Amino acid sequence: MKTPSDDSDRNPLLDGVLADEEWRALNAAVKSRALGALRARRRQRALLHWGGSAVAACAMALAAQKFFPRPDGAAPVALASESRPHTSYISEEKLMSYFPPGSCTIAEIDGERRLIILDPDIAANGVAFNGPLP
């Protein structure tokens, strides 16, 4: 009876095919690991490049501010919220004077005072003024 431990009856062709398959698997695994390492290194170099460029740009901007100050001590530009004109409000009496008498009233709705237009013609077309507002 033959047992698998008999080395004298081994088929050399079968051994070659099995060895070749193992070699292909090993070669593919080594290539895959090497390519992964190369890709990781390339990503690391790209990050270092872009990070270094950003740091250099910030350093140049800071150096420009320090060594080239604004001429004549000019103040920095105001923010948009600071440059907005101040809003002025008119009184209820002045608002009512813009409309014909009896065409509107002021009512409190949900805790807010609102202008209610009673005349349907004014509500549809509005009020036309000639010249500046009174």
Q: What is the mean pLDDT of the chain?
A: 80
pLDDT at 82 over 90: no
Q: How many CB atoms lie within 10 A of CB 103?
A: 15
Q: What are the distances in angstroms from CA 46 to CA 43, 51, 92, 119?
A: 5, 8, 66, 71
pTM: 0.34
* pLDDT value at residue 72: 66
| Burial class of residue 22 (count of CB atoms within 10 Å of its CB; 0-12, 13-18, 19+) | exposed
